Structure 1
């Protein structure tokens, strides 16, 4: 498969890889955590250009065709708190995404490299997604349309009927409200999978959201 060459081709490639990594660290986090068995050999977390993720051994070819992600992430799993370990994996994954982007972009000129970086930097890092330290760039939504009815989410709303609903989610870190769509609901675990207007996907603990009154359903 030919390597991406233009800024847009590179951006599309690494965005899909990042989406795959985000799924591993959020939507598929339980499976990812389980598969990172410290008793296995050195494992690497790969984001694939089709938007999927893979946990595998490093490439045998030396030097590898692409920069390799962090080696042996599974070894540290049981020596750290789960959240801290996931944050560490996210940091290394962010660094890997950047290295892949600028490996592909080696022949870009200054303005093209600047454009590539600025576009990548306009979305939240994996570390921000995993830890909840989200940047407001590209996500903040004004409340100009005051005619839209809003209903605070309550315990009684937790059902599969939430799937497909639009909502507004409040982030206390920056004091902003964000427009989201609820993609899935796990009633038993009281968790929801949401998608921001930027395409980013995240898992929410509905118990915390309801307790802190941080979500409105848009009617």
Structure 2
């Protein structure tokens, strides 16, 4: 853990918040199988920590009283096998959101943020979707504007509309050159609310995205280690979380 790390400005606290948040989102999405295994109910009270280096850690709470930083929810491992995986992950996500806020405003209080600084910090934080929203897919509108589209993989160019005629096996959507000028502004408006199910960051038209055929969440290709070339050969894509759920149930 990292109690000695002390960001002192609004920008530094927000950067710390984003990094810890990224680590916890990773634990609850792309690293969910490893996270699940580490939360053994037979162990003592465990906590999920987001770290300033965008990593996560499941460990015992700090021994000192009071601790250097606010502590996350205690004993998340005890409920793991007593409820559905999705419900358990949602519960951990809610507590993780609360912990992130408490850490950010702890730093604000410690270094004397005034009313204006606190308001600015909260505004920056509030512009990001919560971990709960990311984990449950409530943070976005599908980049296609329709969660049931048959064409879910996107190349670096913007997805074309009216692509229903493409086959399921050919999921890479290529924007026709003659349409780019007319659709550029509309595409940004239509897809601007989409967020990656792994990192929680916004859609960007110059990045490759892929959609899970099981949970219908969208992901940066780089976040799930899928390249455009590899996606062309995938008939049905399942994200790491959905793949792990199937492995555990079999």
TM-score, normalised on structure 2?
A: 0.62
Does structure 2 conserve the Cα–Cα contact (< 8 Å) formed by 1:27 and 1:203?
Answer: no
Determine which structure has more spread, i.e. the larger CA radius of gyration.
2
Q: 2:118 aligns with which of 113, 131, 134?
A: 113
Cα drift, residue 78 of structure 1: 0.7
Q: How many residues align?
A: 179
Q: 1:34 aligns with which of 34, 37, 42?
A: 37
Cα drift, residue 193 of structure 1: 5.9
Q: 2:94 aligns with which of 74, 91, 95?
A: 91
> What's the CA shift string for 1:54-87, capped at 9, x where partnerless?
0000001111100000000000111111100000
Does structure 2 conserve the Cα–Cα contact (< 8 Å) formed by 1:180 and 1:195?
Answer: no
Say yes or no: does 1:206 pair with 2:213: yes
Say yes or no: does 1:125 pair with 2:119: no
Q: Distance in 2 between matches of 1:21 and 1:74?
A: 15
Q: Distance in 1 between matches of 2:99 and 2:200?
A: 24
SS in 2 for 1:10: helix
> What's the CA shift string for 1:144-177, capped at 9, x where partnerless?
xxx956256864247xx99xxxxxxxxxxxxx63
SS in 2 for 1:55: strand
Change in CA separation of 1:83 and 1:204 when aligned onto 2, cut-off 3 Å: farther
Matches within 5 A, 1:162-201: 177-178=191-192, 196-197=201-202
Say yes or no: does 1:5 pair with 2:8: yes
SS in 2 for 1:34: helix
Q: Distance in 2 between matches of 1:88 and 1:54?
A: 17
More strand by proportion, 1 or 2?
1
Change in CA separation of 1:194 and 1:56 when aligned onto 2, cut-off 3 Å: closer
Q: 1:15 aligns with which of 9, 14, 18?
A: 18
Structure 2 residue runs of 5 or longer lacking an equivalent are 144-156, 174-189, 218-227, 229-250
TM-score, normalised on structure 1?
A: 0.70
Change in CA separation of 1:116 and 1:135 when aligned onto 2, cut-off 3 Å: farther
Change in CA separation of 1:209 and 1:135 when aligned onto 2, cut-off 3 Å: closer
SS in 2 for 1:102: helix
Q: Distance in 1 between matches of 2:133 and 2:193?
A: 18
Residue 104 of structure 2: aligned partner: 101
Cα drift, residue 34 of structure 1: 1.6
Cα drift, residue 35 of structure 1: 1.4
